[in-house]
Amino acid sequence: MLLVVGDAGVGKTRLVEEGVPRASAAGLVAVWGSCLPLTSKLPLMPVAEALGELSKVQEGRLLEAALARVNEDLSAR
């Protein structure tokens, strides 16, 4: 997981827009989500967006495997 942070206007979105296709071309799974302004009450929106995109990757097999692992870990507690 990579977290890109910085002041408004420094090029975070451009960096990700350029990097995601390159990472995908290199065989990595690359998805992203974006934040709303700090006044938003949706702090997990980027995570939700990224998971939504991830669910589309390889017909959702990666997300299903990740969720199964989380369920296993939670069941063990």
pTM, entire model = 0.57
Which two structure tokens, joined as six digits, stand for 56?
């589309």
pLDDT band at 58 (very low <50, low <70, confident <90, very high): low
The rounded distance, in Å, linking the Cα atoms of 42 and 25 is 31
Q: What is the dihedral of CA 64, 67, 71, 74, to 10 degrees?
A: 170
Q: What is the average pLDDT value for the chain, to the nearest integer?
A: 81
Task: List alpha helices for 26-60, DSSP H.
Answer: 45-56
